[in-house]
């Protein structure tokens, strides 16, 4: 699913593997505070990128919930990886604000680095336990609100692991698109 362009930028939802998005300049990692290889998204990204990614990450750690840092993509087919630490649901509060901060900080890093296309996983919705629908609303509303102010960005893709999660994101985006875009 592709939403109508917002000031020229497209917001897209796909099912797939975030570590296999060769047409995107940057991908976002659902990282841990130590920026170490882990399970889920972080595991897939570090496996595909090779050990050089963790070597570059190590001096940038630890990061706080909501924070984002940028590195090269090493053996991944992208140019950059933006690592975000999402909130652990039920522990890091306010969870929705910290999750929104992840997306805003990632977009800000993208803008500062002149990145034109970026892919996001559903940050915090795996091991960190954030309910998927609530997370989708926060993520899509935050990105949608920011798109018009991020000049270099042409494409934002949400890459969801399962078909159920893809459909849920499509439904949430359709509901948001039916409302006027909030001011950023
Ligand atoms: N591509 C796209 N989405 C994926 C992939 C993939 N390859 N693999 C899993 N997902 P998670 P978190 C989905 O747990 O909740 C790590 O161990 C998954 O179904 O990767 O932010 C880190 O080291 C879920 O919906 O991230 C941290 O310790 C979503 O991506 C911790 O987990 C996020 O799942 C971060 O937890």
Residue 169 pLDDT > 50, yes or no?
A: yes
Q: What separation in Å is there between the alpha carbon of 38 and the centre of ligand 1?
A: 9
Residue 91 pLDDT > 60, yes or no?
A: yes
Residue 181 to residue 28: CA distance in whole angstroms: 24
Using 50, 70 and 90 to split pLDDT, how confident is the model at 121? very high
Percentage above 90 pLDDT, the chain: 87
Return the domain boundaries, the chain.
Answer: 10-177
What fold, for 10-177? 3.40.220
Residue nearest (by alpha carbon) to ligand 1 atom 11: 126
Residues touching ligand 1 (Cβ under 6 Å) are: 17-19, 30, 32, 38-42, 44, 86, 121-128, 159, 161, 165
Answer whether 169's CB lies under 8 Å from 136's CB. yes
Count of positions (residues) in the chain: 184
Sheet with 68-72, side-by-side order of all strands: 10-15, 155-160, 117-120, 26-30, 80-84, 68-72
Q: What separation in Å is there between the alpha carbon of 127 and the centre of ligand 1?
A: 6
Ligand 1 atom nearest to CA at 132? 25
Using 50, 70 and 90 to split pLDDT, how confident is the model at 147? confident
Residue 83 to residue 81: CA distance in whole angstroms: 6
Chain Cα centroid distance, residue 132: 14
The confidence score (pLDDT) of residue 5 equals 46
Answer whether 133's CB lies under 8 Å from 141's CB. no
Least confident of 51-60, 80-89, 116-125, 149-158: 149-158
């Amino acid at each position: 699913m592709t939403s109508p362009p917002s000031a020229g930028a497209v917001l897209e939802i796909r099912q797939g593997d975030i570590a296999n998005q060769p047409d995107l300049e940057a991908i976002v990692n659902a990282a841990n505070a130590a920026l170490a290889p882990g399970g889920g998204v972080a595991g897939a990204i570090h496996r595909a990128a090779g050990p050089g990614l963790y070597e570059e990450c190590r001096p940038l750690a630890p990061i706080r919930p909501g924070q984002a840092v940028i590195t090269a993509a090493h053996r991944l087919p992208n140019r950059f990886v933006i690592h975000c630490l999402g909130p652990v649901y039920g522990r890091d509060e306010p969870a929705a604000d910290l999750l929104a901060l992840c997306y805003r900080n990632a977009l800000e890093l993208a803008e500062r680095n002149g990145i034109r296309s970026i892919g996001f996983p559903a940050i915090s919705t795996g091991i960190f336990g954030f309910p998927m629908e609530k997370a989708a609303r926060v993520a899509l509303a935050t990105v949608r609100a920011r798109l018009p102010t991020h000049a270099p960005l042409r494409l934002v893709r949400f890459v969801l692991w399962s078909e159920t999660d893809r459909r849920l994101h499509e439904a949430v985006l359709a509901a948001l698109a039916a409302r006027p875009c909030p001011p950023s």
